[in-house]
Amino acid sequence: MTIIPDTPSSLRLTPISRLAAGGRWRVEAMRSLREPVLLWFTQGQGRITVAGTTRGYGPNHAIYLPPGVMHGFEIAPRVQGSVVFFGRQHGLDLPAAPHFMRPRDPISQKELTGILEAIQRELESGRPGSQKAAQHHLGLLSVWIDRQIDREKAFEPMVSRPVAAQKLAARYAALLERDFRSNRAVADYAEALGVTPTHLTRACRATCGKGAHQLLEDRLLFEARRLLTETRMPIKDVAEALGFNSAGYFTRAFSRNEGLTPSAFRKKPVPPVVPKR
């Protein structure tokens, strides 16, 4: 069995616009990470899909994502903000579920901006103890998240409960994240969830605008692209790790969706990130 290398994981803070520097697939394809993430949008708008449900985002929206939650979001040229990758060894007591937050008061917005600036300042300083100081600021960020979640509940006491389609899509997203490398078809997932493939596809389309097969394909393609760009794994090992029966079948499936063979995609140069003035 092929072991899939992990992306290096440590505390880091990155401009949202830079996430797509290696290709829009890095943010738009459905995928999950093995560490908690906080997205903080300060400019622009679009749609984000989290655990099978899609909703809009705009300025002053914060989205917390625990590890293993499938998500993807639209990114336009005007979208700005920051993303905090907590790292897998963060040592914090963080929420187990994703949260969509909109700090309404300027004080909360200023607090979040100040914490993020402090983290970035310490990470870039290179001074003795800078990593430890950054971790302490990360702890303050976790407190900010907890307080904001409490405020959101107070502001919206009549939030509607998820409808059946949302619950089914969320269950499918969780199952998909666990088993997408197993070569299971949508019919297999539907059977495990106790519904028909048609009903599952209808629920996914109603909540996130993508069918069940497209979500499965998205997840597989994201992992394939990641392994091709971030590792030197032979293509036959990439195919095996993702559950394909042969390297040839993987190459045909990848080429049909990407327009390039896996080897050509791997050789494609990454465009440089142009800093904004």
CATH T-level assignment (fold) for domain 12-155: Jelly Rolls (2.60.120)
* Beta-strand relationship, 61-65 and 71-73: unpaired
pLDDT, one tens digit per residue, over 34-70 is: 899 999 999 999 999 998 899 999 999 999 999 999 9
Q: State residue 271's pLDDT score.
A: 55
Instruction: Determine contact, residues 16/41, Cβ cutoff 8 Å.
Output: yes
Structure tokens given for 264: 């050509």
Q: Where in the chain is the domain with CATH 2.60.120.280?
A: 12-155
Q: Where in the chain is the domain with CATH 1.10.10.60?
A: 164-267
CB atoms within 10 A of CB 114: 13
13 backbone φψ class: left, alpha, beta (φ>0; ψ -120 to 50): beta
The dihedrals phi and psi of 53, each to the nearest 5 degrees, come to -125, 135
Structure tokens given for 66: 């625990």
Give 31's DSSP letter: B
3-state helix, strand, coil in the chain (%, to 5): 50, 15, 35
Structure pTM? 0.84
The region of weakest confidence among 18-27, 188-197, 257-266 is: 18-27
Which helix (H) or strand (E) segment holds residue 192: the answer is helix 186-193
Q: Please state which CATH class domain 164-267 belongs to.
A: mainly alpha
pLDDT, one tens digit per residue, over 146-173 is: 999 999 887 654 445 568 998 999 999 9
